[in-house]
């Protein structure tokens, strides 16, 4: 088990371009072991940020992609059959709490609202996790830290965190990086020249203006990187933008025309 | 099993600042073994109060974070596979009843309304828990006591305790502490000076006035403590309040502006 | 198994204050083995009555707190894994039928309507329970008797007994005892003097008048006993009534004021 | 297994008072192995009729009380764990088909509509039951016969048999017996004199006139027998009618008054 | 397993009276291994046709009565516990695909729409069935053929086949046979003389005219055969028609009168 | 396990007629390991395209027919019982990630929206799949690639991919081939002469014009191939078109007449 936790250590520094003071705030929250909530749209770098902080703090990182089929047992653990009967298998939350990892519950708003209450005893002064099925009261390792991510754009009556959950976290807002920074990111990640990256970032800015006028969500930095990667492999820029940006984001014909026009303006 | 119950003993006195006569009332209810219901908003100290009372009465404390996926078996117990067949594993309710612990069902209103009927035979003169799957009629230990918490703000047609459940409990109301007391709590818990704690409590009071004007629930004492903890670790007060108070509590831009203005008034 | 049924024998006479001719009617129904349905509001003494009758008839009592997660298997039984394979475990209904106990299905209206059909073959001339999973046709012990309770106040389109179930039972109506009787009950159960019990019963009568004007259900005898128990342990009467009567029953501020005024009238 | 089927043989002749030509029609249907559907209100004698026919034809009877939690596996069978691995356990339908019993699916309309399709291959020329989990194509014993019961009063959009199921059955209608016959039944079953039985049947007739004017379903013959049984054990006739007839059937106060008046007319 | 497939071989020729060119079209579809969908109302002979074709083509026939509780595992297979661990058990679809049978999914529209996608890889050029739980990519036997049936009268928004399923099948329409043919069928199947069969077919034709005027579905050929079978066993024709035709098909009193009148016209 | 992956290798070149530059774009996406989403109506060749690309790239292909009963465990894997306890069984997604296959999730929009989040960590820079139940962080093989298909025509409020999923993919649009190309495909796949294929393609074009005027979806190329296959086996062209085109696609009588007229125009 000790060895298994090592698999979760982030060996190489994940490249991360800070947007503001988020690194220092996260470090202070970690020092106080105050659980942290990362808010922001899809594809803006929340996951990368957590990986970077885990590397920077030298702690293993256990990531859980939350989904509504996830039960409390999936987080906490369960008994498995073995040659000699049953064996307890820590779920990722118990595993992280026991071994002092950072536990990152990605898109927690997807999980059933009430499943999330199992994290409550880990997020106040108690810092315990009752493994009720095992009859163990797991006391969290001093290094353990809990991070969740949350996309306010998905927020709805049915799917929102409860106030009693929200109030247990400090929150950091994430958004699209400003143009200068995003160019740097796209050029670095896609391996294209700055001139190309600038055009892609311009296209992204245009597309984000369409949000609310028919697009559910703006174009993410990830999509711009995708287009850059295709260009870097020799695909014609317009075809690359079509495949990586306009086609995935919408099936609405008018919206596609508007996006195609934005692409044609720059390439 | 006897040893396991010791894990649930509260060794060190949990710091608790009484608000009124709740300690004496709880003691009288315990003396009559009348089950107790704690009502009040999130983060106002209900859990800490139960821990304090368990310590004061010298009884082990078994806490269950209720959720709607919780089945009767999760409370009562189940059979587990073993090398020699099946072995009965008490659930937390049976465990507490058998060993004379205080069983605290936190946020019971989250549990499926009808799951909660399993506590009925423990809450009247019978003081028994039928372990139907095991065929045992568990008679509660004389020290056993049942405590539930309940947030009236969450009350809805779908999620409310049944009258036949409510009438089995004595109830204690909890609310935000008065300013003088809350300053004391924030200073103690966050490790900040009284002057800082006073400012944080003033901010909290302003924010609570917004409840009903766009905020679902007021700012909890816990959030004020969080802000204090960041300040104590060198984060600038405004950034600390942003991360610990305004960002977690709402995504509404107008509300954020109002909260930010409240913060700016005092720091 | 024979021994286990002894655990369900009611050794000491449960104190019960008859309200009308319910004892004689129950005895006649038992003599005809006609299943009995007890109707009435929560906390008026139905459970105590069944315990009393079980003691009086000298039969073991198997009580099941019904809930909507209860499956037919929970009532009838299931196979459990054992060192040598599977072992059949009677559910409480089969257990009672096999050993000649009185089986009391408490709040049966909570159970899934269709789960209740499993009791049908036990309630007519056949008096059998098919254990389909075991392939056994269990013939009920001659002493076996079935009692259910039912709160007409909970009745709704979704949750009502089917006519084909209701028509299999004789019914006894229960309600709040008349004042004179209730004083006797409160004084006996709470251990307070008659004068105090009279005041509590007066408060109860006032509160019951509020039913339909904002209270879902009146104040039960049990709550009056609770208040008496706190008073008997030295709590001031008003504080005792607050904790045991007004706070559990409602969160509505106007209703609380009305109830507080009723309490203040008498103490 | 052969022995277990003997448990289902109806040894003593169940007393049955024919209403019309239903015995001869059932015999012809059995001769053609045409599945039979018994339609009629609750408590009018459908179950007793099937028991009588099973006795008359000298075939074992396997009865299943249908409910909406019943799965196809509950009818067909499943694998159970055993010392040496898994063992197949026939469900009641497979058990009856294999051993040549009459299988009576009581209140089939309660079962999930689509669960009932598993009976289809047994009800046409194929007369087989695929035990898909076991990989066996069970050919029905030549004596096997399928009978279902069905209460048209429960029929609703959600719960009705599919046409493709209905068309596989011949149908026999059942209703309340005419007065002369019902008197005979009540006197015989309850052990009361004819004069008393006549009064009870008169009360039943009055009550049935209220159906549609506030009563969901009329008073069944079974309820009249219940009242008679109490009278036979010395309960006063009015108290007996109250317990056995008016209280079980309705909680509506006006309806109770009307029923009480009907009782008072005759006793 | 090889032997078990023999149980599914249709030994005796199932009597089938062709209505049009359906036999030749099915043979051509089989030659191209184009999956076939049989459409038509209940009881018009679809199942008999498949049995006849299986006999004619000399292939085993595996029939599945679809229902909405059916899971993908029920079709594909699952692991079963055994003395030496787990053993894979082919579901009927895998069983038929492996051994070259005709697999007939009867009333497929009853199955959960999305469960049906498991048949997709068997219905195009791939002709494979991924046994994902077993990790096997089952290649269908060259003789394997897939047939489904489908009642357009049941079609609804909730229960319809997806276009992506429908387009994988060739379709054959079935309907009630023309009078001349139906007389032949009824006489043959029921064992009655032609004159009686003609009267029954006339009654059927009248009843089918009522479809849409209060009858959900017309009278099936199967019901006419049922009536004939009762007559052949000596039941009076009117009683036979009542039991086999009018009582099963409707509980509506006006409709019953209309049907009874139709019966009285001919007998 | 190594051997089992070989079962998934595409040995013979699957015949594929490119429509535009989709082969080159897929190759560039594969070079960047950018996940690919294939969009388009049913039966237009998406599955065949993936098979062709797997053959062209020399990678094994693991196909999953998605459905809403599919759980995360069905994709990721589970423990199976074995003679010596439990054994881990990779699900198809883990299997493909471990062995460097192309994983094709067909009709992913059918899967429960939130089940699809399990693919997220495989679709960004991490390229990992947490096997939470096993406690393994599976790092994807460098050859692993993820492809999903998606029918925009099925898109609805309930069933659409989340933006956070869509933005992780490059997208390729598929549609019906232009007439010249479709003739080539039908002639090749059905084995009919070009003249016949042209007529079938003309019929298809007519039928597609009816889409939106009563047809949910146009006639697919697959259906034209089906008709050709029947013709190639000697079925008269009109009967072939009836069975393969008009009968499967609609039960609406007007629409059938319109389609029959289209068929009659060309044959």
Q: Give the neighbours of chain F: at least 3 Cβ pairs within 8 Å.
A: A, E
Contact yes or no for B122/B146 (Cβ under 8 A): yes
Contacts of D214 in chain C (CB under 8 A): none
Contact yes or no for B151/B39 (Cβ under 8 A): yes
Q: How far is CA D34 from CA A86, D93, D110, D151, E204, in A?
A: 51, 16, 22, 20, 19
Chains F, E in contact, 3 or more Cβ pairs below 8 Å: yes
Instruction: Give the Cα-Cα-Cα angle F26, F28, F34 (nearest 5 degrees).
Output: 80
Q: What pLDDT score does D49 carry? A: 95
Burial class (CB in 10 A: 0-12, 13-18, 19+), B119: buried
Helices C194-209 and C253-266: crossing angle, nearest 10°?
Answer: 150
Q: What is the pLDDT of residues D13-27, one digit of tens each?
A: 999 999 889 999 999
Contacts of D153 in chain C (CB under 8 A): 163
Contact yes or no for D169/D124 (Cβ under 8 A): no
- Residue E163: pLDDT above 90? no
* Predicted TM-score of the model (pTM): 0.80
Minimal C-alpha gap between C191 and chain D (Å): 35
- Whether E124 sits inside 8 A of F63 (CB atoms) is no
- Whether C170 sits inside 8 A of D243 (CB atoms) is yes
Say how many residues make up chain D: 267
- Whether D84 sits inside 8 A of C81 (CB atoms) is no
Instruction: Give the Cα-Cα-Cα angle A118, A163, A146 (nearest 5 degrees).
Output: 45
Q: Rounded to the nearest 5°, which phi and psi values hold at A216?
A: -65, -40
Strand partners, F88: F79
Minimal C-alpha gap between D83 and chain E (Å): 8
Contacts of C216 in chain B (CB under 8 A): 163
- Residue A240: pLDDT above 80? yes
Q: State the best of A67, A152, A211 to mutate against chain F, taking most chain F CBs within 10 Å.
A: A67
Q: What pLDDT score does F114 carry? A: 65
Tokens at F57, concatenated: 């790239």
- Residue A197: pLDDT above 90? yes
Query: Averaged over D62-85, what is the pLDDT?
Result: 78
Largest CA distance in chain F: 68
Q: What pLDDT score does F157 carry? A: 47
Query: Averaged over A19-48, what is the pLDDT?
Result: 92
Contacts of A162 in chain B (CB under 8 A): 42, 154
Contact yes or no for F33/F76 (Cβ under 8 A): no
Minimal C-alpha gap between D247 and chain C (Å): 5
- Residue A157: pLDDT above 70? no
Instruction: Map out the domains of chain D as residue ranges.
Output: 2-173, 179-266
Q: What pLDDT score does B157 carry? A: 47
- Whether E114 sits inside 8 A of F67 (CB atoms) is yes
* Beta-sheet pairing, A128-131 with A136-139: antiparallel
Contact yes or no for F108/F161 (Cβ under 8 A): yes
Q: Tell me the C-alpha distance between E244 and E247, whole Å.
A: 7
Tokens at A25, concatenated: 């705030």
Q: Tell me the C-alpha distance between E164 and E141, whole Å.
A: 24
Instruction: Give the rounded percent of residues in chain A with a pLDDT score beyond 70.
Output: 92
Contact yes or no for B115/B71 (Cβ under 8 A): yes
Please say whether the dihedral angle defined by the alpha carbons of residues E212, E214, E217 and E218, taken in this order, is positive or negative. Answer: negative
| Closest Cβ opposite residue C67 in set B72, B163, B170 | B72
pLDDT tier for residue C48 given thresholds of 50, 70 and 90: very high
- What is the secondary structure of D98-150 as a DSSP string? HHTPEEEEETGGGS-TTGGGGGGGGSSTT-EEEETTTTEEEEPPTT-EEEEEE
| Closest Cβ opposite residue E81 in set D85, D155, D162 | D85
CB atoms within 10 A of CB E261: 10
Query: Averaged over E227-231, what is the pLDDT?
Result: 96
Strand order in the sheet with F145-150: F61-65, F102-106, F145-150, F36-39, F170-173
Q: Rounded to the nearest 5°, which phi and psi values hold at D96?
A: -70, -40
Q: State the best of A166, A174, A212 to mutate against chain B, taking most chain B CBs within 10 Å.
A: A166
The average confidence (pLDDT) of chain C is 88
Contact yes or no for B203/B210 (Cβ under 8 A): no
Q: What is the pLDDT of residues E14-73, one digit of tens each?
A: 999 998 899 999 999 999 999 999 998 888 889 999 999 999 999 999 998 887 777 788
Q: State the best of B54, B66, B227, B243 to mutate against chain A, taking most chain A CBs within 10 Å.
A: B243
Tokens at A145, concatenated: 């830290």
| Closest Cβ opposite residue A68 in set F24, F114, F170 | F114
Per-residue pLDDT of chain B (267 residues), as tens digits, is 456 888 899 988 999 999 889 999 999 999 999 999 999 888 888 999 999 999 999 999 999 888 777 778 889 988 776 656 677 889 999 999 999 999 999 888 878 766 778 899 999 888 999 887 787 889 999 999 999 998 876 555 456 787 788 889 999 999 889 999 999 999 999 999 999 999 999 999 998 888 766 677 778 999 999 999 999 999 999 999 999 999 998 888 888 898 999 999 998
The average confidence (pLDDT) of chain D is 88
Pairs of residues, one from chain B and one from chain C, whose beta carbons lie less than 8 Å apart: 126
Strand partners, C65: C106
Q: What pLDDT score does C83 carry? A: 57
- Whether A79 sits inside 8 A of B80 (CB atoms) is yes
Contacts of C108 in chain D (CB under 8 A): none
Nearest one of A33, A94, A103 to A64, comparing CA atoms:
A103
CB atoms within 10 A of CB C30: 20
| Closest Cβ opposite residue F69 in set E79, E115, E133 | E115
Q: How far is CA F25 from CA A98, F10, F18, F42, F48, in A?
A: 46, 21, 12, 21, 16
Contacts of E162 in chain F (CB under 8 A): 42, 154
Pairs of residues, one from chain A and one from chain F, whose beta carbons lie less than 8 Å apart: 127
Query: Averaged over E116-126, what is the pLDDT?
Result: 87
- Whether E222 sits inside 8 A of D166 (CB atoms) is no
Chains D, A in contact, 3 or more Cβ pairs below 8 Å: no
Instruction: Give the Cα-Cα-Cα angle B255, B261, B263 (nearest 5 degrees).
Output: 105
- Whether C135 sits inside 8 A of D223 (CB atoms) is no
* Beta-sheet pairing, B170-173 with B36-39: parallel
Contacts of A123 in chain B (CB under 8 A): none
- Whether D152 sits inside 8 A of E251 (CB atoms) is yes
Contact yes or no for E202/E182 (Cβ under 8 A): no
Query: Averaged over E186-211, what is the pLDDT?
Result: 93
- Whether F166 sits inside 8 A of A74 (CB atoms) is no
* 3-state SS class at D247: helix
Contact yes or no for A79/A87 (Cβ under 8 A): yes
| Closest Cβ opposite residue D230 in set C32, C117, C132 | C32
Pairs of residues, one from chain A and one from chain B, whose beta carbons lie less than 8 Å apart: 124
Instruction: Give the Cα-Cα-Cα angle B191, B192, B198 (nearest 5 degrees).
Output: 130
The terminus-to-terminus CA distance of chain A in angstroms comes to: 53
- Whether A243 sits inside 8 A of F115 (CB atoms) is no
Nearest one of A214, A210, A187 to A263, comparing CA atoms:
A210
- Residue A110: pLDDT above 50? yes
Q: Rounded to the nearest 5°, which phi and psi values hold at C175?
A: -150, -175
Q: How far is CA D215 from CA D211, D249, D252, in A?
A: 5, 8, 9
Strand partners, D103: D62, D146
Cα dihedral C198→C201→C202→C205 (10° resolution):
-160
Contacts of E8 in chain D (CB under 8 A): 137
Minimal C-alpha gap between E185 and chain F (Å): 26
E strands present in chain C: 36-39, 61-65, 77-82, 85-90, 102-106, 128-131, 136-139, 145-150, 170-173
8-state DSSP, B83? T
Strand partners, B29: none
Q: Rounded to the nearest 5°, which phi and psi values hold at F51?
A: -60, -40
Contact yes or no for C66/C106 (Cβ under 8 A): yes
Tokens at F172, concatenated: 């390729």
| Closest Cβ opposite residue D166 in set E107, E151, E249 | E249
Close Cβ partners of E38 (under 8 Å, ≥ 6 residues apart): E46, E49, E50, E147, E148, E149, E150, E171, E172, E174
Contacts of F229 in chain E (CB under 8 A): 32, 34
Q: Which residue's structure tokens are 């056994």?
A: C136
Q: What pLDDT score does A113 carry? A: 67
Contacts of C68 in chain B (CB under 8 A): 112, 114
* 3-state SS class at B124: coil
Cα dihedral B189→B194→B197→B201 (10° resolution):
120
Q: Tell me the C-alpha distance between C98 and C44, whole Å.
A: 31
Q: State the best of D43, D185, D235 to mutate against chain C, taking most chain C CBs within 10 Å.
A: D235
Contacts of B14 in chain A (CB under 8 A): 125
Minimal C-alpha gap between C34 and chain B (Å): 25
Q: What is the pLDDT of residues E68-83, one digit of tens each?
A: 777 788 899 887 766 5
Q: Tell me the C-alpha distance between A69 and E92, whole Å.
A: 28
Minimal C-alpha gap between A212 and chain B (Å): 16
Q: Which residue's structure tokens are 């009117």?
A: E238
Per-residue pLDDT of chain F (267 residues), as tens digits, is 456 888 899 988 999 999 889 999 999 999 999 999 999 888 888 999 999 999 999 999 999 888 777 778 889 988 776 656 677 889 999 999 999 999 999 888 878 766 778 899 999 888 999 887 787 889 999 999 999 998 876 555 456 787 788 889 999 999 889 999 999 999 999 999 999 999 999 999 998 888 766 676 778 999 999 999 999 999 999 999 999 999 998 888 888 898 999 999 998
- Residue D157: pLDDT above 50? no
- Whether E71 sits inside 8 A of F69 (CB atoms) is yes
| F27-31 long-range Cβ contacts below 8 angstroms, 24+ apart | F27/F53, F27/F56, F27/F57, F28/A230, F28/A233, F28/A234, F28/A235, F29/A230, F29/A243, F29/F170, F30/F57, F30/F145, F31/A233
Q: Tell me the C-alpha distance between B51 and B32, whole Å.
A: 19
* 3-state SS class at A239: helix
- Whether A155 sits inside 8 A of B251 (CB atoms) is yes
CATH of A2-173, picked from 4.10.520.10, 3.40.50.300, 3.40.190.10, 3.40.50.2300, is 3.40.50.300
Contacts of D26 in chain E (CB under 8 A): none
Q: Tell me the C-alpha distance between F252 and F210, whole Å.
A: 13
């Amino acid at each position: 088990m000790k060895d298994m936790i090592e698999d979760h250590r982030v060996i190489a520094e994940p490249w991360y371009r800070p947007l503001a003071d988020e690194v220092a705030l996260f470090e202070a929250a970690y020092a106080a072991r105050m659980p942290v909530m990362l808010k922001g749209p899809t594809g803006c770098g929340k996951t990368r940020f957590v990986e970077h902080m885990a590397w920077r703090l030298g702690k293993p990182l256990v990531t859980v992609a939350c989904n509504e089929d996830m039960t409390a047992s999936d987080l906490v653990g369960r008994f498995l059959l073995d040659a000699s009967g049953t064996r307890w298998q820590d779920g990722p939350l118990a595993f992280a709490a026991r071994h002092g990892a950072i536990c990152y519950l990605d898109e927690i708003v997807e999980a059933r609202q009430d499943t999330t209450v199992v994290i409550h005893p880990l997020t106040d002064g108690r810092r315990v996790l009752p493994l009720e099925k095992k009859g163990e009261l797991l006391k969290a390792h001093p290094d353990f830290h809990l991070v969740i991510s949350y996309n306010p754009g998905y927020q709805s009556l049915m799917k929102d965190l409860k106030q009693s959950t929200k109030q247990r976290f400090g929150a950091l807002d994430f958004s699209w990086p400003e143009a200068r920074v995003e160019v740097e990111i796209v050029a670095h990640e896609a391996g294209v020249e700055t001139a190309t990256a600038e055009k892609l970032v311009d296209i992204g800015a245009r597309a984000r203006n369409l949000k609310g006028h028919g697009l559910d969500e703006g174009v993410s930095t990830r999509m711009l990187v995708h287009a850059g990667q295709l260009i870097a492999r020799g695909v014609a820029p317009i075809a690359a933008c079509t495949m990586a940006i306009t086609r995935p984001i919408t099936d609405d014909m008018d919206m596609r025309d508007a996006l195609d026009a934005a692409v044609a303006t720059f390439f």
